[in-house]
Amino acid sequence: MKMPLSEVIDRYTITKLKTERTDEDVSAELTAYENALNHADYQQSSDKIKPFIERLYHINGQIWDIEGGIRSGAKLSLQEVGRLALKVRDLNCTRSAIKSEVVDMFAEGFKEIKLNYKKIDYGRNAQPN
């Protein structure tokens, strides 16, 4: 099964962050995602894809920073950890919305619908049962 573009972009940006922020060698993974993005299917749409890469790179970087702060071992109050966790939740909602935009634009893949997250209208007007 081919990986949907929204997932390729998301994983590419996370892998790019890993190469920039860790000593982990993920070059093979990064190359695989770059090859997928450079595939003939997407060449004509590269100008449409670039803004999504930039936006997801930015959001994933923010999530990385916040989660790293929580895991750093710094003495944070439970209230501060909770506040940061809520911020990660909200950023993940934005991340899911961006990925849903990719799904809509390129008509491939599936939209993520997160339960118990802050509600965002992903273009579905139906009310839950």
Lowest mean pLDDT among 67-71, 107-111, 115-119: 115-119
User: For the chain, which residues make up each domain, given as ranges?
Assistant: 5-106
The DSSP symbol for 24 reads -
Which amino acid makes up residue 121? Answer: D
Q: How confident is the model at residue 1 (pLDDT cuts 50, 70, 90)?
A: low
The string of pLDDT tens digits covering residues 46-65 is 889 999 999 999 999 999 99
The string of pLDDT tens digits covering residues 8-45 is 999 999 999 999 999 999 999 999 999 999 886 777 78
The DSSP symbol for 129 reads -
Alpha-carbon distance 70 to 81, whole Å? 7
pTM: 0.80
